[in-house]
Chains A and B, each alone.
Chain A
Amino acid sequence: MVEGEETNFPLNARDCLYLDWSHNNGHLCRPLQDDHEITIEELEMRYDTSIKKGLTSSFASQVLERDGPNALRPPKGTPEYVKFARQLAGGLQCLMWVAASICFIAFGIELARGNLASFDNLYLAITLISVVVVTGCFGYYQEFKSTNIIASFKNLVPQQALVIRDGQKNQINAIDLVVGDLVEIKGGDRVPADIRVIFAQGCKVDNSSLTGESEPQSKTPECTHENPLETRNIAFFSTTCLEGVANGIVINTGDRTIIGRIASLASGVGNEKTPIAIEIEHFVDIIASLAIAFGFTFFVVAMFIGYEFLEAMIFFMAIVVAYVPEGLLATVTVCLSLTAKRLARKNCVVKNLEAVETLGSTSVICSDKTGTLTQNRMTVAHLWFDNHVHAADTTEDQSGQSFDQSSETWRALARIAGLCNRAVFRPDQEGLPRLVVGDASETALLKFTELTIGNIMVYRDRFNKVVEVPFNSTNKFQLSVHELEDPMDLRYLLVMKGAPERILERCSTILIKGQELPLDEHLKESFLTAQMDLGGLGERVLGFCYVYLNEKEFPRGYKFDSDEMNFTTSDLCFAGLISMIDPPRATVPDAVMKCRTAGIRVVMVTGDHPITARAIAANVGIISEGSETVEDIAIRKRIPVEQVNKSDARACVINGGQLKDMSSEDLDEALRSHPEMVFARTSPQQKLIIVESCQRLGSIVAVTGDGVNDSPALKKADIGIAMGIAGSDAAKNAADMILLDDNFASIVTGVEQGRLIFDNLKKSIAYTLTKNIPELTPYLIYITVSVPLPLGCITILFIELATDIVISLAYEKAESDIMNLKPRNPRRDRLVNEALAAYSYFQIGAIQSFAGFTDYFTAMAQEGWYPLMCVGLRAHWENVHLQDMQDSYGQEWTFGQRLYQQYTCYTVFFVSIEICQISDVLIRKTRRLSVFQQGNKVLVSAIVFQLLLGNLLCYCPGMPNIFNFMPIRVQWWFVPVPYGILIFVYDEIRKLGVRRNPGSNTFVIVDNHPPPLPLVFLVAGCDLKHKEKVSAFFHESLFCFSRYFTSTPH
C-alpha cells in the first residue's frame, strides 16, 4: 500500500462500507463474505447449524469461547495512567515543568557553590510540581466523574434474544449469541446480531441508526442485491425490528458486525486540538519568549555589572522562573471544571474539560433533525373535517389548545382512527410515556385517540374486529371490519384509512357536520387544497372513510376474506383527513433564535424528506420567515430555476442526491452564499463532507448526532455532541459532550457558558499576568541596584497561589449581551495577545511595581534606612557575620534584625501588590458599565476574603518564621492606595478615550482618523503595524469593547 493511502485509510474504509461494498477488494470490506448469497443449505454447512434445531448448546459454547461475546468492545479505552499523564502535559503544565527543572538546576548550582542557606529554589520547584500535580488530579477527577455519568447512561438491562438451540427456544442474553445461532425476532426487538433472514412475515426494520434512512426497510429471505447493505435478507445488529416476525441465522457477532466496524472506524479519525488548547499554547509562547528575553537582558546586565558567570546564570534562571504564572494553571482548571459542573446540572455532560470552551467558540452547529430539534415521535398535527382544517395539540405535555370536538364528523373520524389501527400499548406498563408496538403513524393515531376519546383498548374491545386488511404498498390503504357495540344493530362497520387520493377514489359521499352529503366537485376541490396545504407543511396526511355494510348482504357470520376482499370497498363515506408530523420541541425555536442572535449558524442535516426537513426548519426558525429558496423565487417570479440569481436566496435545501453531484467547491460556495441551509436525505458520510466543508470555511463546527453512523462526523467536528437518551454508545464515545435530555436548547446553554468562560479566562489571565511584573522588578532592582531584597520567593508564591486565585475565580455572571455577539474569530480574537501582555506588563504592572517600591522604601526609611542608603547595600546587608551594621542614624543592626526588616519589606511589598490588584481586578472586570453599576457580590466577597487572608498572613503569630510575613504597621497598608487609585483612573481615562470614538467600526477609526486620545493609548498598545494588531489590542485590552462596536446584529 502506498503511504498516502495508508493515511487516508479511515475514509477509504468508510467509503467502502457505505458506497461500494461489493466491489471493493480491500480486506476490511469483506466482513460479510457472501453469506447473503449462498443457499440455506450452504449456510447450514458453513456454520454447522440447522435451520430447524439451531446449534447444539455445547457447540455454541465452544464458538463463544472462540469468538468472544457478542458485544461491541468499547473502543480501546485510553489507559487511566495515560489520561492522568495527559492532564500533566498541557501547554501551561509543560511551562511549569520546565520552570521546575530550571529551579532544580539553580538549586544544584547553589548547592555546589556551598550556599546552603538558600532553599528557595528547591521550595519553588516543589511548589511548581505540586501545583501541576494537584491541578492534574483535579482535572482528572472531573473528567473521571463525567465518564461515570456517561457510563451510568448505558443500557443497564442486558438485551435478550430468543434463540433456538438443541431444538428448544430459549431466552438468553444477547451477548452470549454466537455465529450460527438460530434466532427469532419480532416487532419491537432490537436485532441482536447480523442475521441472515431465513423466514420473515411482514418484517420491517428501522435502519436509521446504521444508514440514516428513516423509512422502515422490509426484510425477506430472498437475496435481492449483491451488496449486503442493500440486500433484503440481512438484518443488522442494533437496528430495530418495527413490526412482523422473522428468524434467521447469526452470521456475525460483536465487533465483526457492520455496526461494530463503523464504531471502530470512528476511532481512527484523529482528535483535533481544542481552541482553548491552541489559545493556551499561544499564551505560553508569549510568556516563554518574554521570559527568555527578559532573562537574557538581565543576564547581560548582570555580567556587565560584574557578577560571576554562575551568579548571572542563576539570576537568569530566577527571572525566567519568576515569569511563570504559577496560579494560572489552577485558575484555568478550576474555571473549566466549575463550568463543566454547572453544565452537567443543565444536562450537558462534558467529557473533555476543554470542550467547555470550544462550544463557546462554535460558529456553526450541524444539527440532526429527529430527536434533537424534534420530539422524535409522530404526533397528530392537523385534522380536516367539516371542510375545515383543525389544529391539534402537538406540545410535549399536552399544554396547548385543542380544537372543537363537538362535531358528529369528529366522532366518526375518531372512531375510524381508533378502530382502523393495529398499534397497541405494550401491556403491563406503568407511568409515562407508554410504549407502543406499531409503526409511527399508527402510534400517533393511537395516542391521539387515547387522549381524545379515552381508553382506546377498551373501546376497541367493544367493536369486535371481524377482518383486517393490513397496509401494503400496492393498495396504500388499510381496512378493518367490526361488529357494532350495540348488540341489536347487526350491521358491520367497515373502516378504512390510507393515502388520501386512494381513499377519495373509493368514496362517493362525505360527512359534513354529521350529514352524509354527496361528494361534489366543490368539496373535492377543497379536499385537494387541504391535502396540499397539509402536505406542504411536511406532514404525513392520511384519509379516513367508513361505511355500514348492508346487513342483508353481509349477515352475521358472513365469511370475510381478507385476500379476496369479498365485501364493499367502494362508495364509502369520507370522514376526514388527519395529518401527522414529528413536531419540534417546544424549546427549540427559542434556542435557534438565540443561536442566530449569537451569530451561530444552525445547519440542519437530516436523513428525512426535503419537504419535511424544510417544514421543520421553517418551524424552528432555521429557515427564517420570509426567506426563500431558489425554487421559491423561481415560482414567485415564474421563471425557470436556472435564471434565478442564487445570491438572492437566503435559504437553501439540498438533498443527498444533489449533494452527491456537487464538488467540494460547489458545497463551499453553497454554504457561503446561503446563510440558511438544510440538508435532507443525506447519508452519514455526506454529513462528514458537510462538516469538513464548514471547517474549510474557517468555522468552528459543532455536530449533534445519535446514531453509530454519526460517530465519524462527531469525531471530525470541533465539538461532537451526542444524545444521551437516543444516542448509541458509539456516538457517545466519539462525542466530546453529551446532552442528557437530547434537547437542542441545552446546546445554547453550553454556548453561553463557553463564551462566558472564555471572557472570564481572558479577564483572569489579564489580571494574573499583571502582577508578574511587580513580582519580578524587585528581583531586577535587587540585582542591578543591590538593594536588600524587597520581595521573597515564598511571598510570591503566596500571592500567586493563595490570594490571587481567590480573586480570579470570582466569576462574572453572563453579561446580558454575551449571546448577542458574534462568535469569536479564532484567528483574531485571542485569549491573550502581545498587546494585552504589553499593556498588563509595561503599564499596569509598572504602576504596581512603583507602588511596591514606594511602600518598600517607606518601610525601610521609617525603620532607619534612607532610600539612597539602600542602594548598594546588598553585600553588607546579606553578610551573616556582620552583627553591627550601621543604618542612616548610626544605629547598629545585627543580621537577625536585618533579616526581620527584610521580611517586613516582603510583607509591605506583598500588601502593595494586593492593594493594587484589587484596583486591577476592578478595571478588568468591568467593560462598559461602571464598577458601581456592575455589582458582583462574589467579587466583593473575594476581595474581602483576600484582604482577610492578607491580614491573617501578616498578623498571625508565628508567621515570621514560617512564611516570612511580619506584622506590619497599619499605615503601610495605605501607602499603595494612591497607586491603586492611579491604576483605576488611568484605565478609566483610556476607556473614556475609546468611548469617545464616534464611529461604529474600530478599524476605520483607528486606521484613518485616529482621534488624539486613543492614539496615545494605541501607541501604548505597542503593536501598531497591522490593522489586526490594532484591533486586537482594542479587543483584548478593552475586553470586547470593540465587539460591541463592530458587531452588527442581523
Chain B
Amino acid sequence: MSANKEADGGWKTFVWNSEKREFLGRTGSSWFKILLFYLIFYGCLAGIFIGTIQALLLTLSSYTPTYQDRVAPPGLSHTPRSEKSEIAFNMNDKTTYEKYTKSMTSFLEKYDKDVQLDAGKFEDCPGKPNPYRKDLETDKTMRRACRFSRSLLGVCSGDADPTFGFKEGKPCLIVKLNRIVNYIPRVSLPSPTYPGGPPPGATSRQRPNLIPLHCTNKREGEEGLVGDIKYYGFDGGFPLQYYPYYGKLVHPQYLQPLVAIHFTNLTMKTDVRIECRVYGDNIDTSEKDRYQGRFDVKITISL
C-alpha cells in the first residue's frame, strides 16, 4: 500500500514534494504559457464582466432606483441609536450618556438655521401641515429643500439643554422617517385601516396632511412606567409638504422632518419598554423588521 501511495503521489507528496518538483521541473516557457493563458483567459472574462456591468449601469436611472420594493415601506429610525434596542444611562454620570447626546448634537447640526440660509438650496415651506408637492412629473432639475429648523423641536432642540434632558432623567429621542426616493406617505383619515386602529393618544393628534407618531408602553400594564410623553415638531408628526424626496443627485440638501419625543416622567431604575409607531395608510409594519414603520426601545435610567 505504501508503494502504491508513493506511485500515486500520496497527499503529502502531492502538497509539497511532487508539486514542488513540478514547480522546479517545469520550464520557464511552460510556466510562461500557463500564466499567459490564464492572463488572457481572466482578462477576457474580466472584460466581459466589466462590459456587462457597464451595460447594466447604462440602464439605471441616476435619479430613481429601478426598484424600491426592498426599501419601502420606510423604516423609522431614531437618534440616539440604541444598542440592542436599549438605551441605558446614569443621569448623574455624564459619561454614561455622553455618547447619546453627542450623536444627537451632530445629527442636528444640519438642522441649524445657519446652514439653511442659502436661498438657492433651501426654501420655506408652510409652517402648518400641507399637502405634498405635486411636481413629481417635472424633469430632473435641482430641487430646493424645505427648511426645517431644529428650534421646532422645542426643549429637545438642544439649544437650551445640550444634554437633551438626559441630565434630568427626561431624555429626548429624535425620530425620523427613513427617506425613500419619490415616496409619499399617505395619511390615514378619517377611519384608520390598520388593525386595532390607532390608540386614542394617536387619534387625538391626527391632522390633515400629517403622519402622526405615537409612542406607548410596549408591554400591557406598564402604562404607569412610561409616564407622560411630549411630542415636538409639526404637531408630533411628519408633515406631507416635506415629501417627496427626489434623490441624492437633485435633492442633496434635503432635510427630513423630525419629531422629538420627550419622556418627562420615566420611571427610574426600571427597564421601561416603549414602542413608537407612525400611522399612515401605506406604512405597514413587519414582524421580522422591527424598524419598519415603528421601533421599540428599552430605556433604563439609573441614579
Contact = CB atoms under 8 A, between A and B. Distances in A.
A843 interface: yes
Interface in A852-905: 853-854, 857-858, 861-864, 866-867, 880-884, 886-897, 899-901, 904
A893 B178 contact: yes
A273 B249 CA distance: 69
Contact of A864 (B33, B71, B288): B71
A883 B291 contact: yes
B75 A892 contact: yes
Nearest to B45: A850
Nearest to B178: A892
Contact of B57 (A861, A1020, A1024): A861
A1016 B37 CA distance: 7
Interface string A279-315: 0001011101100110000000000000000000000
Given A846-B45, A894-B178, A1024 B26 contact: yes
Interface in A821-851: 827, 842-843, 846-847, 850
A891 B15 contact: no
Nearest to A289: B15
B67 A863 contact: yes
A886 B83 CA distance: 19
B194 interface: no
Contacts of A513: none
B65 A961 contact: no
Contacts of A814: none
Interface residues of B, number: 65
A862 B289 CA distance: 22
B126 interface: no
A30 to B, nearest CB: 35
A1022 interface: yes
Contacts of B66: 861-863
Contacts of A269: none
A278 interface: yes
Contacts of B34: 1019-1020, 1022, 1024
A931 B84 CA distance: 56
A1019 B248 contact: no
Given A850-B49, A867-B53, A894 B75 contact: yes
B286 interface: yes
A169 interface: no
Interface majority SS (helix, strand, loop, mixed), chain A: helix
A969 interface: yes
Interface in A965-984: 969, 978, 982
A850 B82 CA distance: 39
Contact of A896 (B8, B245, B288): B288
A899 to B, nearest CB: 8
Given A278-B4, A884-B75, A894-B77, A854 B52 contact: yes
A978 B48 CA distance: 10
Contacts of A1016: 37
A543 B210 CA distance: 122
Contact of A889 (B14, B65, B176): B65
Contact of B74 (A843, A861, A892, A899): A892
B99 to A, nearest CB: 12
Contacts of A1019: 30, 33-34, 36-37
A899 B42 CA distance: 32
A771 B66 CA distance: 30
Nearest to B30: A1024
B7 A827 contact: yes
Contacts of A284: 11
Given A289-B11, A842-B38, A900 B70 contact: yes
Contacts of A904: 70
Contacts of A286: 14
B289 A894 contact: yes
A27 interface: no
A636 interface: no
A881 B15 contact: no
Interface in B248-303: 248-249, 251-252, 254, 286, 288-292, 295
Contacts of A891: 65, 68, 71, 178-181, 245, 247
Contacts of A899: 289
B60 interface: yes
A351 B50 CA distance: 55
B41 A897 contact: no
A969 B251 CA distance: 29
A890 B11 contact: no
B77 A863 contact: no
Contacts of A843: 41
B14 A289 contact: yes
A982 B69 CA distance: 32
A881 B176 contact: no
Contacts of A76: none
A1025 interface: yes
Contacts of B83: 881
Contacts of A892: 71, 74-75, 77, 178-180
B64 interface: yes
Interface in B144-202: 176, 178-181
A366 B15 CA distance: 39
B119 interface: no
Nearest to A865: B65
Given A285-B10, A854-B53, A969 B67 contact: yes
16 contacts: A285-B10, A286-B14, A843-B41, A850-B45, A850-B49, A854-B52, A863-B68, A888-B248, A889-B63, A890-B254, A891-B65, A893-B71, A893-B75, A893-B178, A896-B289, A897-B289
Interface of A: 273, 278, 282, 284-286, 288-289, 292-293, 827, 842-843, 846-847, 850, 853-854, 857-858, 861-864, 866-867, 880-884, 886-897, 899-901, 904, 961, 969, 978, 982, 1015-1016, 1019-1020, 1022-1025
A-B pairs, top 5 by smallest CB distance, nearest first, are A896-B289, A890-B248, A894-B75, A892-B178, A285-B11
Given A861-B56, A1025-B30, 11 more contacts: A289-B19, A858-B56, A883-B291, A889-B65, A890-B247, A894-B75, A894-B289, A896-B291, A897-B289, A982-B48, A1016-B37
Interface of B: 1, 4, 7-8, 10-11, 14-15, 19, 22, 25-26, 30, 33-34, 36-38, 41-42, 45-46, 48-49, 52-53, 56-57, 60, 63-71, 74-75, 77-78, 81-84, 176, 178-181, 245, 247-249, 251-252, 254, 286, 288-292, 295
